A and B are shown apart, each in its own frame.
Chain A
Amino acid sequence: MLLIYCPYCEQDLPELEFAYAGEAHIARPADPAALSDEEWRDFLFIRSNPKGVHFERWRHLNGCARFFNAARETVGDKFLATYKAGEPRPDADALLASPTGDAK
């Protein structure tokens, strides 16, 4: 079972308290009417699906119920960082290079 650090509750808590909410940092189009079919496809369906560092949204559903973001390495499922919604995306290479690798 994954242990996930909620940046609002400031605790490591079991996966069962959380709901995954898909890839993070996908911005809604500012002017939806101006989008081409290809741009709609990219917004709605195309995901990075990396074998490596994945930036993703989680919701502490059975806790504070708030959304936050996480960087997780998808081969070993290790969380490299979690951070509050609205905070900037950390640098993936820096996270991987961090000696502790478990920056909160």
Chain B
Amino acid sequence: MTHFSFAQVVKGALTGQKNWTPQWPDREPKAAYDVVIVGAGGHGLGAAYYLAKEHGITNVAVIDKGWLGGGNTGRNTTIIRSNYLYDESARLYDHALDLWENLSQDLNYNVMFSKRGVLMLAHNVHDVQSFQRHVHSNRLNGVDNQWLSAKEAKLFCPPLDINPNARYPVMGAALQRRAGTARHDAVAWGYARGAAARGVDIIQNCPVTAIRRGPDGRVTGVETAKGFIAAKKVAVSAAGHTSVVMETAGVRLPLESYPLQALVSEPIKPIFPCVVMSNSVHAYISQSDKGELVIGSGTDQYVSYSQRGGLPLIEHTLAAICEIFPIFRRMRMLRKWGGIVDVTPDRSAILGKTPVPGLYVNCGWGTGGFKATPGAAHVLAHTVAKDEPHPINAPFTLERFTTGRLIDEAAAAAVAH
């Protein structure tokens, strides 16, 4: 693997760009591994990276049914923030944000993390009260978040319409300055490159069809399209398909899978300085470095694996965008797509051990898993390596649905994550 540096750029310029090597090899599976990770998205690849880097476990395979980073890692709207209400969530997402800040240097790969700020609009009295409660809770937890008046929000994001007679009047906004966006593909690529350089095998186009258990109940490996692969430990990080994979090991999860859609506009010159989220009308918007407006929508109401989603949802989202940002009314949209998100009843993730010895799960991120990528990967690696959860993910157990100790961000945030 070539270490990226200014010297390498100069060398490339002088040698006709012949000095670059492939960033990671596409492997065929070996017969056995210490750890098999199902799902080569940011979370799975990141867990492999931290297993190798921090725990010295390098006999690891990351297996994906499609191509690396081709699931929700490559389909989300790249929003990163940590202003969650509850202590458990704030610790988990702020841990991720801490890792985001130095991720490009850590991976020697530019993930284009941009702290441009995330503005969450309040359109009614309930929003104002709820967001101010979030701001206070965040400050107690040491998480950056502040309250802006409508005029201050307009100064921070000039395309915003703050006319009090608007269809969705802006009554104020919560701003997390430390939040922002990152290049989603680069996160998967950077982790893949870092993991492969430490000896991790990345196996693509190889669906895992079943998890196998021995007579003592312990995990013995996975059945795949390329045959049986033995493994001492298996970690499943397969987003919308997690419940399908886990059921083959006899573990039923409190998950439902829904399509979540996003779309991008034609590229335009820089006009949009930050990320704006409007939870009550389901509109999430930012501008990519290519110039496209990146717009996120809500989930369909029904369980589906279609990776497509229904048109009424994006119609609703675009109607809201046009009301809040009248300047975009004549923009044309280029393409839209969907990803399958796994949603838990309390809208918090499940990250930890399962009733099956040697089987670990990282799922239930719902509509907002991208922002947690480095943090989730880091604590998942810890959980797999030590066979016990990191203090940060200890509350995010599967048992909480039996004990009733939920982390109820659903009621706290109402919608978006």
Q: Please list the residues of chain A having a beta carbon within 8 angstroms of any beta carbon in chain B.
A: 1-2, 15-16, 19-20, 23, 37-38, 40-42, 44-47, 49-51, 54, 56, 72, 74-77
Contacts and interface: CB of A to CB of B under 8 A. Distances in A.
A74 B252 CA distance: 18
9 contacts: A37-B404, A40-B402, A45-B254, A46-B252, A46-B401, A47-B303, A49-B253, A49-B255, A72-B302
Interface stretch (B83-91, B272-280, B305-313): B305-313
A41 B304 contact: no
B82 interface: no
A72 B403 CA distance: 33
Given A46-B252, A49-B255, A2 B306 contact: no
A41 B303 CA distance: 20
A49 B243 contact: yes
Contacts of B401: 41, 44-46
Contacts of B254: 41, 45-47
B402 A41 contact: yes
B304 A74 contact: yes
B64 to A, nearest CB: 17
Q: Which residue among A2, A19, A56 has the maximum number of chain B CB atoms within 10 Å of its CB?
A: A2
B353 to A, nearest CB: 17
Interface of B: 241, 243-244, 252-257, 301-306, 308, 310-312, 345, 401-404
A82 to B, nearest CB: 13
Q: Is the interface of B mostly helix, strand, loop or mixed?
A: loop
Nearest to A19: B301
A75 B345 contact: no
Contacts of A75: 304-306
B402 A49 contact: no
A20 B310 CA distance: 13
B301 A47 contact: no
Given A37-B402, A44-B345, A45-B254, A74 B311 contact: no
Contact of A74 (B305, B310, B402): B305
A74 B305 CA distance: 6
A2 B345 CA distance: 25
A16 B303 contact: no
Contacts of B253: 46, 49
Contacts of B404: 37
A51 B306 contact: no
Nearest to A75: B305
Contacts of A51: 241, 244, 305
Contacts of A15: 310, 312
Given A41-B402, A46-B253, A51-B244, A1 B302 contact: no
A2 B243 contact: no
B363 to A, nearest CB: 11
A62 B314 CA distance: 20
Contacts of B255: 47, 49
Nearest to A78: B306
A75 B306 CA distance: 5
Nearest to B257: A49
